Amino acid sequence: MWRSLEARDRARQGYAIPVRSLSMEIEFDEDTCIGMYQCVAEWGDGFEKDKDAGKAILVDGEESADGVFVREVPEGAELDAKFAARTCPVDAITIYDDDGEQLIP
Sign of the Cα torsion 95, 101, 103, 105 reads: positive
For ligand SF4, give the closer residue by CB, 93 or 95. Answer: 93
Cα separation, 17 vs 99, whole angstroms:
22
The correct pick among 7, 11, 17, 34 for binding ligand SF4 (CB under 6 A) is 34
The residue range among 16-24, 30-38, 59-67, 94-102 that interacts with ligand SF4, by the rule CB under 6 A, is: 30-38
Q: Is 50 in the site for ligand SF4 (CB under 6 A)?
A: no
Nearer of residues 10 and 103 to ligand SF4, judged by Cβ? 103
The correct pick among 57, 68, 88, 95 for binding ligand SF4 (CB under 6 A) is 88
- Region from 7-15, 18-26, 28-36, 67-75 binding ligand SF4, contact rule CB under 6 A: 28-36
Please report, as ranges, the residues that interact with ligand SF4 according to CB under 6 A: 33-39, 56, 88, 90, 92-93
